[in-house]
Chains A and B, each alone.
Chain A
């Protein structure tokens, strides 16, 4: 059994051009060294029934032994405000905020603190292990503590605060539930003795949603809070609950209030990691590990569900104790990509313990792009990096108890899955929920990603390499362009290519990406879409941070979690998220077909339809028996139509000139329609009784000699290599590719 996790790493940047440097950030808890080899990936799927792992080794100075060290991962998000004179005012203080705890009672969780744990000095407002509000002072080896009488409730807004009054020698905590009825009132207060004077620790950061373990501006942190914090306030005076409540309710507390130390408005600069202080002290801070912004605040009343329309209702940040968006590892190897390298899927292979019972073979993936405006081939294959990120470290099969029922068979865990089950500090995918049950809406590449590399789970990355393998097999030259670049540079990323192929599952698209494809197709580009469930979710990319995407799952679509009400607009861009179908760009309009069902029981062949005999499409079906099933073979369920499938649907935009060439519409009871297909409920909607559950193959011409060919099935790519690449799926794909690379326009469509 090959050990794929004894050494892990990530490449930064994830996508590089020839001439640019890529750095490999590695860590091993057990190995002192490994043998590194840099490889271009041809096939990443180790399945012995298929092509198997296949690589090209270009030979680099990196190839050889590499020393390894252990670099820990420190999950958990918080806000950090470095020490400042205003934080060191002697004597009294008050602190308050609205909070919405999402995992109270799972352990001590700090809300606001200026505390260093190594010396137990400072102050800290927290929830204790029993979910009770607790205020602690520490100095010179002594602790003073006061705890509220009743625990807070999960997922209920509550106003919390504390004050230290040295004149009275008292500390007080108080809390008021915002919906104080029907069993939801946990309000109360408590007071205890405190010193008449105290010395605050020097050089200690103010931390929101955690506390510092040590001094300094960038301390390690602990006690991470799960939940939302809205409008935190800090004063250098002892104030009662009513005064603090009024200060927190106010969206614009007066900066001239002399005792106001800080009043943070999390609705400012929503797409950044900056938090702004409204006080005269300008105690702006930074967010660590990307907590969720654009979260509804305690004052959100449903008047809008779009934060851009009333940002003042979105003054909350949802912190998670398991947020992980930047591993922060130091680099171990660096390579400047030679100018003459082909673009492609690349990976650093790390081997150790070869010849033993538990040999190590672990990969760190990256992509070499064809530089913008410098194509080296007529064909481009799109690396679906948005989709790879959306699925990065998916724990769906580990955590989601419906997974075996959905997948229609025993779940087979890889060594990566077994590792991920125990190592949640890697950070999960946008298919997963945080430990507090809320959905992961961001995914970044500054961390090891187990399922975007050779030997990893085949869904997406591995399946897509079957297309690369096939292109290599038929001797077709191609460039690689990535979703990141299509988003950043738009249509000009695609424009130089006569034909562009999207892979098995190009599911996640930003507005810029989908407009790039639309413009490409309208401008005479040819697009071959060899997948299923494509062009489905609307995402955002971070405006400045590379390789960071965001999805809000919303209320429709095939979701593994449901977004919270009012929280379905992207914090990165302010745009709506959810399905493109709900944003006026259903996939059928772009590629003729759109997601309609999943089928995991098995995969099926297509049957040819009459339009396949249309002379205008004769080039596509040349050499293929139109009376025989198409694709009754393949590595995924024994057919070319399966897993997730798309169909032609004119009401969603399949164009009038579309030729519906083939269909797999007998998907039996395992064909389960996607949720947005069902407006009303009745029995009999599964594939055994419902021909709308199907995979379709379609062709249509677009303006200026462009065209689109779609196969509507994730399983398609894994049928290409059947029978030594001699098969009808390979033949059809090759016929279309050859014709799409030929600039001659498509005649007879009355354009």
Chain B
């Protein structure tokens, strides 16, 4: 058996910690501070906002935003209008979606581009 417990991810997210948002925006691929590591782990393990993934359009050059269906055999949901030309850009876009799902707060437009 495989047992994962994504619902067990319970590090408390503080919506006022925009400093962590800023840290991630500056360095999406790390290395990250202890608290940003915990925030990212909360996002990645829990799969908040359903599990966003990328679909490779061109190896190591272009990626499209997508989301796992949460069920084996069901198609991956893709977002053809959201194409990224760097992994950092993609990480940031998904971070912003997850931040909103966790805190209910949309990141200000100035913060939504890397």
Binding site for B on A (CB under 8 A): 1, 46-49, 395, 397-402, 404-405, 408-415, 418, 421-422, 424, 433, 435, 437-439, 560-562, 564, 601-602, 668-670
Check A399 against B66 for contact (C-beta < 8 Å): no
A-B contact pairs, 6 of them (CB 8 A): A47-B59, A401-B6, A405-B45, A418-B76, A433-B2, A437-B1
The 5 A-B residue pairs with the shortest CB-CB distance in the complex, in nearest-first order: A561-B2, A404-B44, A405-B44, A46-B59, A412-B54
B72 and A48 contact, CB distance less than 8 A: no
A409 touches B87 (CB 8 A): yes
**Which among A435, A439, A669 has the highest number of chain B CB atoms within 10 Å?**
A669
C-alpha spacing A669/B34, complex, angstroms? 9
Do the beta carbons of B76 and A402 come within 8 Å of each other? no
| A400 adjacent to B2 (CB under 8 Å) | yes
| Bound: A433/B1 CA distance, A | 7
Contact across chains for B76 and A562 when beta carbons are under 8 A apart: no
With A404-B51, A414-B56 as given contacts, are A409 and B29 in contact (CB-CB < 8 Å)?
yes
A413 in contact with B4 (CB, 8 Å): no
Check: B100 CB closer than 8 A to any chain A CB.
no
Report B46 CB to chain A, min CB distance, Å: 9
| Minimum Cβ distance to chain B for residue A555 (Å) | 12
- When distances are taken between beta carbons in the complex, the residues of chain B under 8 Å from A414 are 55-56
Complex CA–CA separation, A668 to B52 (angstroms): 26
Of the residues B37, B47, B61, B87, contact of A410 by C-beta under 8 Å:
B87
Q: Check A401/B56 contact, CB under 8 A, given A410-B87, A433-B1.
A: no
| B 1-20 contacts with A by CB, 8 A | 1-4, 6
Most B CB within 10 A of own CB, among A48, A397, A410, A422: A410
Q: Count of A-B contacts with CB under 8 A?
A: 103
Bound CA–CA A602/B28 (angstroms): 13
A103 to chain B, nearest CB (A): 12
The contact of A669 among B31, B53, B75, by CB within 8 Å, is: B31
Cα distance, A703 to B94, chains bound together (Å) = 55
Task: Give chain A nearest CB distance to B109 CB in angstroms.
Answer: 22
Considering the complex, which residues of chain B in the window 86-100 have a beta carbon less than 8 Å from any beta carbon of chain A? 87, 90-91, 94
B26 contacts the other chain (CB 8 A): no
B90 smallest CB distance to A (angstroms): 6
Residues of chain A within 8 A (CB-CB) of B63 are 412
Contact pattern, B 38-79, Cβ under 8 Å of A = 1, otherwise 0:
000100110100011111111111010010110011111000
B58 touches A1 (CB 8 A): yes
- With A409-B91, A422-B75 in contact, is A602–B1 under 8 Å at CB? no
Query: Which residues on B sit within 8 Å (CB–CB) of A404?
Result: 44-45, 47, 51, 53
Nearest residue (CB) in A for B95 is A410
* B contact residues around A669 at 8 Å (CB): 31, 37
Question: What is B's interface to A at a CB cutoff of 8 Å?
Answer: 1-4, 6, 29-31, 37, 41, 44-45, 47, 51-61, 63, 66, 68-69, 72-76, 87, 90-91, 94
Contact between B47 and A401, CB atoms less than 8 A apart? yes
User: Are A410 and B75 in contact, CB atoms less than 8 angstroms apart?
Assistant: no
Q: Are A668 and B75 interface neighbours, CB within 8 A?
A: no
Asked if A413 and B56 sit within 8 Å, CB to CB, the answer is: yes
Report the nearest A residue to B84, measured CB to CB. A410
Assuming the A-B contacts A409-B29, A409-B87, are A437 and B2 also in contact, with contact meaning beta carbons closer than 8 angstroms in the complex?
yes
Beyond the given pairs A401-B6, A421-B68, 20 more chain A to chain B contacts, judged by CB atoms under 8 angstroms and listed by A's residue number, are A1-B57, A49-B60, A401-B47, A401-B51, A402-B6, A404-B53, A405-B41, A410-B54, A410-B94, A412-B56, A413-B76, A414-B56, A418-B75, A418-B76, A421-B74, A422-B74, A422-B75, A435-B72, A561-B2, A564-B1
B84 to chain A, nearest CB (A): 10
For the complex, give the distance between the alpha carbons of A402 and B61 in Å: 26
**A413: which of B1, B37, B53, B58 is its contact (CB, 8 Å)?**
B53
Is B73 touching A402 in the complex (CB atoms < 8 A)?
A: no
* B-side contacts of A424, CB under 8 Å: 72-73
CA of A400 to CA of B44 in the docked complex: distance in angstroms? 12
Contacts of A415 in B (CB 8 A): 55-56
Of listed A49, A408, A437, residue having the most chain B CB within 10 A: A408
Residues from chain B with a CB closer than 8 A to the CB of A401 are 4, 6, 45, 47, 51
Please determine whether B4 and A439 come into contact, CB atoms closer than 8 angstroms.
no
Interface centre among A413, A564, A668, A670 (most CB of B within 10 A): A413
Q: How far is the CA of A433 from the CA of B4 in the complex (A)?
A: 12
Which of A409, A414, A422, A668 has most chain B Cβ within 10 Å? A409
In the assembled complex, the CB of A601 is this many whole angstroms from the nearest CB of chain B, namely 6
Interface centre among B2, B55, B74 (most CB of A within 10 A): B2
Q: How many Å from the CB of A153 to the closest CB on chain B?
A: 16
Q: Are B54 and A601 neighbours in the complex by a CB distance under 8 Å? A: no
- Contact A410/B90 with A1-B57, A404-B51, A405-B44 known, Cβ cut-off 8 Å: yes
Give bound CA distance, A562 to B1, whole Å: 5
Which of B51, B53, B69 contacts A412, CB < 8 Å?
B53
Question: Separation in Å of the A740 CB from the closest CB of chain B?
Answer: 33
Q: Which listed residue, B30, B44, B51, B60, touches A48 by the CB 8 Å rule? A: B60
Nearest B-chain residue to A53, judged by Cβ: B59
**Cβ contact within 8 Å between B45 and A410:** no
* Contact present for B2 and A439 (CB under 8 Å): yes
Residues of A within 8 A of B61 (CB): 48
A412 to B90, CA, bound (A): 10
A192 CB to nearest chain B CB (Å): 36
Q: How far is the CB of A292 from chain B (nearest CB, A)?
A: 13
Residue of A nearest to B93 (CB): A410
How distant is the Cα of A410 from the Cα of B56 in the complex, in angstroms? 12
**A400 and B54 form a contact (CB under 8 A):** no
Chain B residue contacts of A398, Cβ below 8 A: 68, 72
CB B12 to nearest CB in A, in angstroms, measures: 18
Q: How far is the CA of A49 from the CA of B1 in the complex (A)?
A: 39
Is there an interface contact between B75 and A421, defined as CB atoms closer than 8 Å?
A: yes
- Given A433-B2, A560-B2, A562-B1: A399 touches B54 (CB 8 Å cut-off): no
B87 with A418: CB separation less than 8 A: no
Of A399, A404, A418, A437, most buried by chain B (CB within 10 Å of CB) is A404
Minimal beta-carbon separation of A744 from chain B (angstroms): 43
- CB contacts (< 8 Å) of B57 on chain A: these are 1
**Cβ of A413 and Cβ of B55 under 8 Å apart?**
yes
**Distance, CA A574 to CA B92, complexed state (A):** 51
CB distance from B19 to the nearest CB of A (A): 19
A395 to B69, CA, bound (A): 14
- Beyond A433-B1, A560-B2, whether A422 also contacts B54 by CB under 8 A is no
Q: Which residue of A lies closest to B47 (CB)?
A: A401
Interfacial chain B residues near A411, Cβ < 8 Å: 53-54
Chain B proximity of A154: nearest CB distance (Å) = 11
How far does the alpha carbon of A670 sit from the alpha carbon of B90 in the complex, in Å? Answer: 20
B87 to chain A: which residues have CB within 8 Å?
409-410, 412
When distances are taken between beta carbons in the complex, the residues of chain B under 8 Å from A49 are 60
Partner of A438, one of B1, B3, B6, B30: B1
- Tell me the smallest distance from the CB of A57 to a CB of chain B, in Å: 22
For residue A418, which residues in chain B have a CB less than 8 angstroms away from its CB?
Answer: 55, 66, 75-76
In angstroms, Cα B32 to Cα A668, docked, is: 10
Q: How far is the CA of A590 from the CA of B61 in the complex (A)?
A: 40
Q: Is the CB of B55 within 8 A of A402?
A: no
Please indicate the chain A residues that have their CB under 8 angstroms from the CB of B2 in the complex: 399-400, 433, 437, 439, 560-562
